Chains A and B, each alone.
Chain A
Amino acid sequence: MGADANKKPRLTTSAMIASIASEGQRTEAAPFGHALVAAAQQDSRIVGMTADLSKYTDLHIFARDFPERHFQMGMAEQLLMAAAGGMAKEGLVPFATTYAVFATRRAYDFIHQVIAEENLNVKICAALPGLTTGYGPSHQATDDLALMRAVPGLTVIDPCDALDTAQAVAEIAAYNGPVYMRLLRGKVPLVLDQYDYRFELGKAKLLRGGKDVLIISSGIMTMRALEVAELLGDGSADVAVLHVPTIKPLDEATIIEECRRSGRLVIVAENHSTVGGLGEAVALALLKARVHPEFRQIALPDAFLDAGALPTLHDRYGISTATMAANIRVWLG
């Protein structure tokens, strides 16, 4: 018995908050927390609020420096959103954190009615966006962008890496209005410092040009798209990457301008279900503008996803760098 058990191969395991950084990738720790501290030093109206997930959204960094401006609301997301609205009514600028599934699914009506309907200055920062945990559908926010895009007046952003996150925090702190931001926490990959890039609210940015393929992406999929472009740069294809960190309002002008350039396969890559995210938003913008490129969507299926290890799942659902590159090779023939 003992001898056989010892020979069993070690299984691939998962953790709820596994890092999305690949082996050896450069990272920065808690970019959201540090950026919020920097913003709060400039603006005394900023407060932090959380629903029992301070440590897991990097808000504890802020709490350490500003204990009197950090509010623990308990594991009560409806309360979190409504109380953040109440804080904003009093002229404060609350950054409210929890996991994306709980913010968007459980507290939807409170975001819609309390925060958005009165255009209150609340920043909802939601961790574990899309498929960034192998914990199963309870924690996989594969529908958060669809839900938040449906809320009138809500600005929706999906940053790519540590640099994007830090710059986005500074910009949304300065912006007066409700925002939903997807939050990358812990050791967050650092990628965009290698490009001529700066986060600007509402702007899509071309990170690299290319004559065969245009990948339009947001969030961590931009990091993947850049890796794919490197892989296919072996002579397979010349790939351009347009990063769209602001999902709403969408920078339709830049997207249409890039897609008008004839002959390129256009691929929208998103860490989200096929329903209601960046892919559908881009497709509608192109149809309205009568721009009709070859179009593909790389996204998560409209399904309850499996539990498992993130690398396994990203391969299974086609959002890993390797599977993306393989699919694009097929599409290019």
Chain B
Amino acid sequence: MTIIPQDAEAVSPLQRVAYHAWRIRRFALRMGEVQGQGYVGQALGWADVLAVAYCHAMKIRPADPHWEGRDRFLLSHGHYAIALYAALLEAEIIPESELETYGSDDSRLPMSGMATYTPGMEMSGGSLGQGLPIGVGMALGLRLKNNPAWVFNSMSDGELDEGSTWEAALSASHHKLSNLIALVDLNKQQADGNSHEILEFEPLVDKWQAFGWHVQRVDGNDLAAVVTAFDNAMSLTELKPRVILFDTLMGKSVDFLETREKNHFIRVDQDEWQAALSVLDANYEKGGF
């Protein structure tokens, strides 16, 4: 990708995505500090998947975010905007100078992701359960145009509650949309609490398989596993849509947020943002690069 560590030649591909994942987490925390709030727990948990998507798997042109040949990335869970902005900053689609406008009046980076505001944002999310059915239409359209681009739909486990998600799951399989990859964040937290107590969606592997999808379930914070899962999904020859179910940990890489009482919105006090960055940096150094 575009930003690589200084001794790029010396590092492995895995170290490279680790570097990008660390920087995506940093951007997210810095935006969180601007607003004094935000879905940073989700951003920290989803950063590894975003790093692999934007810095390993997808074809993009940062200077031309709507290039016809790009791989499409739909952010169905609009509240993860802070996470995607961090990835778009890391991919240099959004200039770093805009970071500090996050969530402010007239910013191109509103709290909930909207295609009408932000370069590189492919849909207006927020009303959950819309990304996958939009992805079905885009995948059908790409196939009709003989365009080999991929459609990735990034979604939360809460969106598994929505009927429209399953309408799309049926349809993608019916139309054999092998250019569609769903990325599901299983952080098991929804607005009212633990996902399993809100509306049980397990057994998920069985469900998606029964709907005719190729299914993988991996630890979404094990970078090697995430890279392998993307590689697998993109190299299959089966005429099936693909889903990767990622078990993730909200607050990942900032120990005191990982262990904080889990809910939809992790509380971060004003004096904790700098501490969070310090812990993140220390963990990254420890992980070795």
Contacts and interface: CB of A to CB of B under 8 A. Distances in A.
Interface in B119-153: 122-124, 126-127, 129-130, 133-142, 144-145, 147
Given A78-B133, A78-B163, A82-B130, A87 B138 contact: yes
A76 B141 contact: no
Interface in B200-252: none
B168 A82 contact: yes
A82 B134 contact: yes
Given A82-B134, A110-B164, A117-B124, A76 B142 contact: no
Interface string A89-118: 111101000000000000001100110011
B134 A85 contact: yes
Interface residues of A, number: 28
A83 interface: yes
| 3 residue pairs, one from A and one from B, having the closest CB atoms | A86-B137, A90-B141, A83-B137
B272 interface: no
A83 B123 CA distance: 12
Interface of A: 47, 68-69, 71, 73-74, 76, 78-79, 81-92, 94, 109-110, 113-114, 117-118
A68 to B, nearest CB: 7
Given A73-B171, A78-B163, A113-B127, A83 B115 contact: no
Given A68-B144, A113-B124, A74 B138 contact: no
Interface of B: 114-116, 122-124, 126-127, 129-130, 133-142, 144-145, 147, 163-164, 167-168, 170-171, 174-175
A90 B138 contact: yes
Given A89-B122, A117-B124, A118-B124, A82 B137 contact: yes
22 contacts: A47-B144, A71-B140, A73-B171, A74-B171, A78-B129, A78-B133, A78-B163, A78-B164, A79-B136, A79-B164, A82-B133, A82-B136, A82-B168, A87-B140, A89-B123, A89-B141, A90-B147, A92-B145, A110-B133, A113-B130, A118-B116, A118-B123
A87 B135 CA distance: 9
A71 B172 CA distance: 12
Given A89-B122, A113-B124, A118-B115, A76 B171 contact: yes
**Residue of A76, A78, A82 most packed against chain B (CB within 10 A):** A82
A73 B126 CA distance: 23
Contacts of B141: 47, 86-87, 89-92
Contacts of B135: 86
A83 B145 contact: no
Contacts of A68: 144
A111 to B, nearest CB: 11
A274 to B, nearest CB: 30
